Amino acid sequence: MNLRTLRVFVEVVRQGGFTQAADIVSLTQSSVSKAVKALEVELGVPLLNRIGHKTELTAAGEIVYRRALVLLTEKNHLLAEIDALQELKGGTLRIGLPPVGCGVLFAKMFTEYRRRYPQVDIELIEHGGNRLREFLEAGAIDIAALLVSKDDAIAYQDVRNEPLVVVLQADHPLAGYRQLNFKDLHAEPFILFEEGFTLNQLILAACERRKVSPRITARSGQIDFIVDLVTAGLGVAFLPRMLATKHRHPGISLVPLNEPHTDWRIALAWRTGTQLPPAAIAWLELAKTLAQPKE
C-alpha cells in the first residue's frame, strides 16, 4: 500500500467514477481501475460496489476512505513543513535558557542560527530550570534548555552531559583529595544557586540519599560570584566540570564529586505531542550538528 494508490482511490470516490478520477490524477482509466483493484486485493476486501458507470463505497471502503483522507492530509502537512524549514524566511524562535552554562553551550549556536536564518525573530528568556519548565508547559516558549528528568509530557534532545566537581578554596584541607562525596563534605557550608535552579535539586537529593543535612550559607545566580565566595572561604560549591574549568584560577581547587545520579545532563526540551513551528525545528536540527554531548 502506498500513498499514491490511496490518492487514486480517494479521487474515484470524490469524482464518483473511474473516468473522472483518471483526469484528476493524470492516469488512464485502466490504470485507475487496476490501482483500486490492487488495493482491494492487498486488503482482502471489496472497497467499491460498481453499479453501471457509478460506484458506491462498501463498509470497508468507508473505513479506507476516511483513513486515507487523514494520511494524505498528513503528507501535505509534512511536505509543507519541510518546505518551510528549507526556506525559513520568517517566524519566531521562542526559547528559554538557564543562566548556568548558556553562554558556553549556546552562544556560537545563536550566531550560526542568525547567519542561516536572518529573518527569524528570536525571543529569549532566561530563568532557572523550574521556571523555564513552567513557561514550557504553559506554551509561553517552544523550546527550553533543561536538565533531563523523567517526565512523559516533555521530549528531550541531549546537548551535554557533565559530571559535577566540588569547588573549594585552594588551601582547603580537602583540596588534595582525588574525589569527594557528601559524607566527606557533611561539615562544610554549601554555596548553592538561587531557588528555582534545577541543579540544586540534584545536589540536595544526593545529600538526602547520603543522609546528610547540608548547611546552606549562601545562594547566587551568578557563577562568577559563587566562585568568588569560595575563594573568600565562605564555603564549598558545586559546578559542572566544563563550567568549573572555565572559571578556574589559582585561588580555588576542583575535586571530582563521587556521587551517583548527579551528572549535569542538559538537553533541549519541548512538550510531547506539540507541533513545533519551523523556527524551533531549525534550532533543533542545528543543535544536532553543533552540540557535542559528552558522557
pTM, two decimal places: 0.65
3-state secondary structure (DSSP) of residue 117 = coil
For residue 295, being part of any structural domain is answered with: no
H helix runs in the chain, sequence order: 3-15, 18-25, 29-43, 59-86, 102-116, 129-138, 198-209, 223-231, 241-246, 278-290
Tell me what the pLDDT averaged over the chain comes to.
89
Under DSSP, the state recorded for 199 is: H
Residue type, 123: E
Q: In terms of residue numbers, what domain contains 247? A: 164-262
Residues forming a β-bridge with 169: 252
Query: Are 58 and 174 part of one and the same domain?
Result: no
Query: pLDDT per residue over 127-170, tens digit each?
Result: 888 889 999 998 999 999 999 988 888 999 999 999 999 999 99
- Shared domain for 73 and 139, answered yes or no, is no
Q: The C-alpha cell of 181 is what? A: 562525596
- Say whether 293 sits in a helix, a strand or coil: coil
50-100 pLDDT per residue, tens: 877 677 899 998 999 999 898 888 887 777 667 666 667 778 899 999 888
pLDDT band at residue 295 under the 50/70/90 scheme:
very low
Identify whether residues 168 and 258 lie together within a single domain.
yes
Q: How many Cβ atoms from other residues are within 10 Å of residue 13's Cβ?
A: 21
Give the total number of structural domains in the chain: 3
Q: Region 164-177: what's the mean pLDDT?
A: 96
* Whether 136 and 74 share a structural domain: no
Query: Computed from CA positions of residues 229, 231, 236, 241, in that sequence, does the dihedral angle turn out positive or negative?
Result: positive
In this predicted structure, what is the pLDDT of residue 86? 64
